Structure 1
Amino acid sequence: MPHDLSQKAIILLKKFIIFFTTRISMIGKEALLGKQWVPLHQRDRLSFIHILGIAAGNLAPGLLWMVIPTLFEPLASKLSVKSWVQTILLFYGSFAGFSICPILGVYSDNSTFRWGRRRIFFVIGLVFIIIGLLMMTYCVQLGEFLSPHKPLPVQQTFYILSYVVAVAAGNVVNEPVRAICTDVTPLSQQNLMANICSAFSSIGGILVNLIGGFKWYQYTSLGQEQFVLIISIILCVISIVITCIVTPEEALKEKPPKVNPFKEMYAAIKTMSVPFKRTIVSFYLAQVAYFQFSFQFSHFMGKEIFKGDNSLTAPEELQELYIEGISWSMMCGAVRYSAQLIWGFVNTRISELIGFKATTILGYALMAVGLLMFYFIDNKYVYLPIVFAIGIGFGTCMSIPFSIVSLSTPLKDFGANLGIMFMASVIGEQTSNLGLGMALGSTIWVDRPRMLIGLSGVIGVIATIAAFWVQQPIPPSENYLSLPNEGSTDISTLNNYNNYNSNI
C-alpha cells in the first residue's frame, strides 16, 4: 500500500511540474511577443488548476496547525513538561496569532516589494517553519548530545524553543498566504477560492494523519512523532513553492505613506461592514468550541478510550496502549480532514443554493452535536462519524466567514480585515484555553479531556444560535477589488456599496 501511494504521489508531482514549466514558458512567450500582461484578478476567470496552485500555500499553515496540536500533549507528557508551562505555551500560541497576523496584514497591504506584497512574508516564514519543526523533531537527540548525563532539561528547552519558533513562523505565513488568494482571484470566483483554501488546509492533515494512523514510521528508523514532523516539513516546502511559482503578484507602484499598524487595525475595526460584524460573532464562538477538541482529542483517545499512559514512569504496556490511541486519533484526524476537504468543494454550491446564513447554521450545528457526543460515547469506531461532522463544522467556520469578508472589504484593506478575523480566532482560542482549560481543567476536571471537549459542545450550540444573525453581503463591482494604483476606481459605485453594507 505505501508503494502504491508513493507511485501516485510521483505521478501527481510530475503533473504539477509540467504545469509549472508550461506556466513559466507562457509568461516568457508573452514577454517576448510584447503582449500586454493582464493581472490575474482582472481576468474573467482563472482555470481550476490555476486556482489550486494559488491556494496550495494554505496547506502549510493548515498542516502546521494540525501537527502542533496533535503532538503537543504527547510530546509534552513524554518530556515531563510541567502543566503550567504548557498553559503558558498555549497562551503564547494564541498571543502570537493575535499580534503577528494583524501587524503583518497591515504591512503586507502597504508593501512595495518588487515581487509583490505577500510572497516575501510567507517565504521568510517557511524558513523558520523548517527550523522550528527540525528542532522539535530532534529535541530528544539534541538534549542527549549536548548533555548526556542530564539530558531532560536540555530536551525540554529545545522542545519549548521549537514550539515558539514554529508557532511564530506559522503566523507569519498564515495571513499573507491567505490574502494573496483574494488579491489575485477574480470577483466571480472569490467564494470558490475561499472554499478551496479551506480544502487545502485539510489535504496535508489527511496525508499526515494517514501516515500516522497506518504507522508507516515502522518502515523507517524514526519514531512516530519524528516521522510525522519530517513529512510535514516536506509538504510545507512543496506547497509554498507551488504558490510562489504560479502566483505572479501586482506590486504597488507608488510608495504608500508610513502606516501605524495599530491605527490601521483600529480604523479597520471602526469601518467593519454590517455583514462582517454579524459573522464575526458566531465565528468567534465556533473557535471557542473547537479549541479544546483540537488540543485534547489525541490525549483523550490515548487515555480515556484506550486506557493508556504516556508518562515516563508508566508500565510499558500502558505506554503502548497510549501510542495505539494516538495512532487511532490520527486515523480519526484523516477522516476529519477528509470531511473538511469534501466540504470545501461542495460548500460553494451549497452556499449558492441556500445562502451563507443557512450554510453556517448547518455547519455549526453539526460541530456542536459532534462535540456533545463526547459525553456519551466510548466506542472508538463511533468517533469516525463524529469527527466527520466536526470536520464539516470547522470547514464551514474557515470558509464562509472569509467569503463574507472578501465580499465586503476593499482589496486595499483586505489584509487588515483578515487580521481582524485572525484576532477573533485567537481571542476565541484563549477564551477556551483560560476559561475551560485552566479554570476547569486545573481544578475540577484535572486530566479529564472528555469533560472539556463535551462542554465545548454547549458553546457550539451558542455559536449555532448566533449564526442566525449572519448576513450575506451584496457582491461589489470589479473595481472594488482593484489596488489603489491599478487604474481608475468608480468612487460612486464604491460609496453606494459601502453605504449598503454599512446600513442594511
Structure 2
Amino acid sequence: MTVPEGQQQRHRPRGGAAVTPVETPTRVPLRVLLRVASVACGIQFGWALQLSLLTPYVQELGIPHAWSSIIWLCGPLSGFFVQPLAGHMSDRSTSKYGRRRPFIVIGCASIIVSVLLIGFAADIGGLLGDGEKKTRAIVVFVIGFWFLDMANNATQGPCRALLADLTGNDHRRTRVANAYFSLFMAIGNVLGYATGAYSGWFKVLPFTLNSSCDINCANLKSAFLIDVIFIICTTYISVTAIHEQPISSIHDVNSEASSHPQEAFFWEMFGTFKYLPNPVWLILFVTSLTWIGWFPFILFDTDWMGREIYGGDPTGDQKYSDGVRMGSFGLMMNSVILGITSVLMESLCRRWGSGFIWGISNIIMFLCFLAMLVLSFVASKADYGSDGVPPNGIVIAALVIFAILGMPLAVTYSVPYALVSSRIESLGLGQGLSMGVLNVSIVIPQVLVSLGSGPWDQLFGGGNSPAFAIAAVASFASGLVAILAIPRSRPSDKSKIRH
C-alpha cells in the first residue's frame, strides 16, 4: 500500500496517551480488497476441517466426550493473548515488507506446521511406540491442535487489520471489505466441509493409510495435506495484492513508542477500555452473548449429528462416522448460505441498519438451536429399524437447520468487526489493537463454554442438548439487545462517536 506524504495522522485518546500514527490510505480498488481478503479462504479451509472432524477424532483417539471441550480451550485462550498481541505488534512493525504482511505469512506457515502435526499424529505416535492406547498420538495431536489455534489467531488479527488499513475512514468500504472477508471464509468453509464429508480420500492418497493410521485417520490426514496446498496458494494471492509502505519511512515510530507511558502491551490494551464510549461497550456485550450462542454449536455440531441424529458411538461405530460425514455435508450447505448472505450484507445493512440485521440474525440462531433440541427429542423416540439408519425426515430437518444457520453466521463474521472498526476510529487506536479489543469480547465467553459445556453435558446425561439450551438462551438475549439498543446506523452516516 502506497501512502502519499502528508496523509498520515497522529491520534491521541483522552488522557494524553500517544499512540502509533494512523495511515490514511489512498482509495484502494475493490478488486485489490478482494485479493487481500482471499487469504481468509485458505485459513478457513483448515478451520472447517478442524470444526467438522477434530471433535469426533479426539473421541476416536480415546478422549472422553466430557473432556473434548477442554481440548478446545486453547482457541479462546490463544485468542485472548495471541491475536491482540499479534495485532498490536503489527500496528508497530517497521518491517520493510510492511506492517501486516509479515505476520500473515508467518501465521500461515505456522498453520501449515500445525495441520501436519495433527494429520500425522497417529503415525508419530506409532513411531514412538503406541499400542492399543494411543497416548503418544494424543499428546502430538493436542500439541498440534493448540498450535493450530494459536496460529489461526495470530493470522486473523493482522488480516482484519490490513483490510481496515486499506479502507481507512470510508465506513461503506469497511463494510464491503469485511463482507469480502466473510465471503472468502464461506468459500473456505464450503471447500473444507466438502473435503471432510468425502470418505474416499484414503483411496486418492493411498500412502496415508498404514498400520498406525486407519481409514478415518487417513481421510483426515489427506484432507489436511490438501489444506496445506490451499493455504500456500491463497496466502500468495493475498500478500502480493498490495505493497505496504514501511511505517518507518513515514514516521519514526520508535521515537513515538519511547514516549509511550504504557510500555506493557496488555496494560495498554486493557487501559483502552476506559476510553470506550457506551455504543462500543454495547457492541462488545452483544458480541459476547452471540458467541456464547455460537461456541457450543462450533464444538459439537458434527458430534451432535453422529450421536443424537444417527445414534452412534464415537469409539469406532460406523453409524457415528456416517453421522459426522453427514454433519460435514450440512456445514457445507451452511457455508453456501453464509457466502450468499455475505454478498448481500452491504445492501441489507444499508436498508435496515446493522443493529437490526444483527438482532434478527441472532433471533434466527435462537430458533435454530431450539429446533435442534426438539429434533434431538424426536430422534430419541423414533424407530430407526433393524439397520439403525435414521428416518430421512429427521436427517433432512437437521441439514435444513445447519443450512439456515449460515445466515446469522455471516452476520457474526462481518457486522461486529465493521461496527467496531468504524466506531473505535476516533479513539486513535491502531486497527490491530482495535481488533484485539473486540476479540476479548469473543474469547471470554468461549473460555466459559469450553470449561463448562463438557461437565454440564455430563451432568444431564452426556449428550449435547444442555449446551445447545444455553446457546439458545444466549442467542435470544443477544438478539433482543441488538434490536432494541444498537442504533440503526447506515454507511452514509459519517457522524463520529461522542465522547
TM-score, normalisation: structure 1: 0.81
Per-residue CA deviations over 1:49-81 (Å, capped at 9, x if unaligned) read 322101011224433432223222211111112
Task: Select the structure that is richer in helix.
Answer: 1
Could you say if the C-alpha distance between residues 83 and 325 of structure 1 is closer, same or farther in structure 2, counting changes exceeding 3 Å?
Answer: closer
CA contact 1:279–1:470 (8 Å) conserved in 2: yes
Between the aligned partners of 1:41 and 1:389, the Cα distance in structure 2 is 39
1:73/1:296 contact within 8 Å kept: yes
Contact 1:126 1:173 in 2 (8 A): yes
Query: Which aligned pairs between 1:212-227 and structure 2 lie closer than 5 A?
Result: 212-217=196-201, 219-220=203-204, 221=206, 222=208, 223-227=218-222
- Cα separation, partners in 2 of 1:75 and 1:88, compared to 1, 3 Å: same
Relative distance call for 1:118 and 1:240 in structure 2 (3 A) is same
1:8-19 alignment, distance < 5 Å: none
Distance change in 2, residues 1:328/1:414 (3 Å): same
1:285: Cα distance to partner? 0.6
- Of 335, 343, 347 in structure 2, the residue corresponding to residue 337 of structure 1 is 335
Corresponding residue number in structure 2 for 1:431: 448
Note if contact 1:268-1:417 (Cα within 8 Å) is conserved in structure 2. Answer: no
Rounded to whole Å, the distance in 2 between the matches of 1:58 and 1:420 is 20
Which residue does 1:63 correspond to in 2? 45
Instruction: Return the alpha-carbon distance in structure 1 between the equivalents of residues 492 and 340 of structure 2.
Output: 28
Mapping of residues 122-271 of structure 1, within 5 Å: 122-147=104-129, 152-185=134-167, 187=170, 188-217=172-201, 219-220=203-204, 221=206, 222=208, 223-253=218-248, 254-256=252-254, 257-258=257-258, 259-271=263-275
Equivalent residue of 1:246, what SS? Answer: coil
**C-alpha separation between the residues in 2 aligned to 1:224 and 1:273?**
49
Kept after mapping to 1: 8 A contact 2:327/2:399: no
Query: Which stretch has the larger CA shift, 407-416 or 463-472?
Result: 407-416
Q: 2:289 touches 2:474 (CA, 8 Å); kept in 1? A: yes
Can you list the C-alpha shifts for 1:242-269, whole angstroms capped at 9, x where unaligned? 1111022232121231542113212321
Gaps of 5+ in 1: 1-26, 313-318, 479-496
State which of 367, 389, 402 in structure 2 corresponds to 1:387: 402
Deviations 1:278-297 (A, max 9, x none): 21111111100011111111
Residue identity in the other structure for 1:280: L
Alignment partner, residue 480 of structure 2 = 465
- State the secondary structure of the residue aligned to 1:399: helix
Query: For residues 366-377 of structure 1, what are the structure 2 equivalents within 5 Å?
Result: 366-377=364-375
The answer to whether the 8 Å contact 1:361/1:464 transfers is yes
Give the aligned residue type for 1:204. G
Rounded to whole Å, the distance in 1 between the matches of 2:315 and 2:177 is 44
Classify 1:425/1:64 alpha carbon distance in 2 versus 1 (closer, same or farther; 3 Å).
Answer: farther
CA distance in 1: counterparts of 2:174 and 2:54, whole angstroms: 34
Q: Deviations over 1:101-120 (max 9, x none)?
A: 11222221111111111111
Aligned to 2:286: 282
Q: Structure 2 length normalisation: TM-score?
A: 0.82
Q: Helix, strand or coil for the counterpart of 2:147? A: helix
Out of 29, 39, 55, the position equivalent to 1:46 is: 29
Q: Partners of 1:150 and 1:440 in 2: how far apart? A: 30
Q: Bigger CA drift: 223-232 or 236-245?
A: 223-232
Structure of higher RCO (CA pairs closer than 8 Å, 6+ residues apart): 2
Separation of aligned partners in 2, 1:297 and 1:454: 14
Confirm or deny: 8 A CA contact 2:40 2:181 kept in the other structure: yes
Shift of 1:300: 1.0
Partner in structure 2 of residue 20 of structure 1 = none
- The answer to whether the 8 A contact 1:46-1:185 is kept is no
The answer on whether the counterparts of 1:182 and 1:406 sit within 8 Å (CA) in structure 2 is: yes
Quote how far apart the aligned CAs of 1:171 are: 1.2
Q: Secondary structure at the match of 1:215?
A: coil
Matched residue SS, 2:93 = coil
Greater CA drift, 53-62 or 399-408 = 53-62
Distance 1:270 1:342, change over 3 A: same
Q: Do 2:80 and 2:443's aligned partners in 1 also have CA atoms closer than 8 Å? A: yes
| Cα shift at 1:320 | 1.6
- Cα distance in 2 for residues equivalent to 1:452 and 1:469: 27
Amino acid at match of 2:439: F
What is the distance in 1 between the residues matched to 2:370 and 2:493?
Answer: 43
- Paired residue for 2:95? 113
| Aligned residue identity for 1:469 | A
In the alignment, is the contact (CA less than 8 A) between 2:356 and 2:488 conserved in 1?
no
- Offset of 1:461 from its aligned partner? 0.5
Amino acid at match of 2:290: A
Code of the residue aligned with 1:276 in structure 2: it is V
Equivalent residue number for residue 442 of structure 1: 458
What CA RMSD, in Å, does the superposition of the two structures yield over aligned residues? 2.7
The residue type paired with residue 63 of structure 1 is F
Aligned position for 2:387: none
> Identity rate of aligned residues, in percent?
19
Q: How many residues align?
A: 442
Separation in 2 of the partners of 1:364 and 1:307?
A: 29
C-alpha distance in 2 between matches for 1:138 and 1:389: 34
Instruction: Give 3-state SS (helix, strand or coil) of 2:363's partner.
Output: helix
Q: Which moved more, 1:402-411 or 1:391-400?
A: 402-411
- Cα distance between partner residues in 2 of 1:149 and 1:439: 29
Cα distance, 1:163 vs. partner? 0.9
- Structure 2 residue identity aligned to 1:161: I
Corresponding position of 2:13: none
Aligned residue identity for 1:430: V
Whole-Å separation in 2 of the counterparts to 1:196 and 1:178 = 11
Question: Is the CA contact (8 Å cut-off) linking 1:206 and 1:333 kept in structure 2?
Answer: yes
Deviations 1:301-352 (A, max 9, x none): 111111222215xxxxxx2211111110011010111111111110111101
- What does residue 490 of structure 1 align with? none
2:435 corresponds, among 418, 425, 436, to: 418
**Offset at residue 83 of structure 1 (A):** 5.2
| Partner in structure 2 of residue 502 of structure 1 | 498
